[in-house]
Structure 1
Amino acid sequence: MGKIIVSENVSVDGVIEDATGDEGLGRGSWFTCITDRDREEWAKVEIEEAMRTEALLFGRLTYQWFVARGWATRTDAWANRLRSLPKYVVSSSPLEGPDWDNSTVLKGDLVEQVASLKHQVVGEIVVYGSGRLARTLIEHDLVDELRLMTYPLVVGAGDRLFGETALVKPLRLVDNRTIGASIALLTYQPVRVA
């Protein structure tokens, strides 16, 4: 059975929006506030995660962001790995393409589709970005692990990973490590209350 892993770059105050400054939030690229050495260490961790991944799950906007930045045509090892993986895209509006190898648009009820996907894929199904999708998966208890690459800054505005939930969602810290000199990788699993 598959495990849904939400893997996010997040500021200390929980912002996930516009880390690269491309979306026009007006806060600049907070991703570039880290040193080159930290960015190199971050990339190593992300590549390791991609090598363990069996499938990717995206919201439409994040999928289009990856395609627009050349991930579908890059030829480095990381991009080759992502290109080889099955990619599932959740979209409530029409999606042209898809423009990336091995991509499938999920149609119908999101919760049913993702629950079914968890039964089809063995291993990690990683969700990058895709804030609205991630919040929906969290709300419906479909997430098996959160990997939060936490940047040492307060952005102060923008979409946050966690929104309002119907109930308290208890988490258990299962791993933490420092990436480079300033990034904290915090890994949580939901505490399932019977």
Structure 2
Amino acid sequence: MGKIVISENVSLDGVVQDPTGEEGFARGGWFGRLGDKDREAWAEVESDEALGAEALLLGRRSYEWFAARWPSRSGAWADRLNSLPKYVVSSTLEDPDWNNSTVLAGEVVNEVSKLKQELDGDIVVYASGRLVRTLWEHDLADELRLMVHPVVLGAGERLFGETGGTKSMRLLSIRTLGDGLAYLTYELVRDA
């Protein structure tokens, strides 16, 4: 059975909106504040995560963002992302052009539940805020990996807004990366 791993870059105050500054959010571009040492450490963790993944699960907008950048890149990280099976939750995308991509056009909870049954290993979700919240609400996420950036934005879309209930998490690991990044890994604690 597959494990849904949510992997997100977040500010100290939990904002995930527009890290690269390409969406027009006034406080966007916060990812670009990383120094070289932080960026290198971040890239190493992200590359290792991709190398250990069984598949990617993305919302349409995040899929399009990744698909516009990664196919032209080379190296072990790019090769892995380009070769991984990619599943895109979308009701509008019909013909994905990034290799090994499949559109999950049905009801999200059913489609992802089937995917978890069909695959073994980590099914990594990058960005995809709306999808993440749906997975979270329906107890489909198993692990949460947060790359916490040393910036407080004070506004913006947060990873989690209001939820239907309390979710208990168990801390698996904490790592300091570079000069200012914190990498936190949690697993969802399900009731017995």
TM-score by length of 1: 0.96
1:89 is matched with 88
1:2 is matched with 2
Q: Residue deviations 1:16-38, cap 9 Å, x none? A: 11101011101241111121111
- Specify the code of the residue in structure 1 equivalent to 2:137: E
2:44 is matched with 44
Give the superposition deviation at 1:108: 1.1
- Specify the code of the residue in structure 2 equivalent to 1:80: D
1:27 is matched with 27
Identical amino acids, percent of aligned pairs: 61
The count of aligned residue pairs is 192
Give the superposition deviation at 1:96: 4.8
- Specify the code of the residue in structure 2 equivalent to 1:113: E
Give the superposition deviation at 1:41: 0.8
- Specify the code of the residue in structure 2 equivalent to 1:38: D
Is there any run of 5+ residues in structure 2 with no aligned partner, and where? Answer: none
TM-score by length of 2: 0.97
Over the residues paired in the alignment, what is the CA RMSD in angstroms? 1.0
2:78 is matched with 79
Question: Does the 8 Å contact 2:94/2:103 carry over to 1?
Answer: no
Q: Which 10-residue stretch deviates more, 158-167 or 5-14?
A: 158-167
Residues of 1 paired with 2:28 and 2:120: CA distance? 39
- Specify the code of the residue in structure 2 equivalent to 1:100: W
Residues of 2 paired with 1:107 and 1:55: CA distance? 17
Give the superposition deviation at 1:97: 2.9
Question: Does the 8 Å contact 1:59/1:89 carry over to 2?
Answer: yes
Q: Which runs of 4+ in 1 moved over 6 A?
A: none
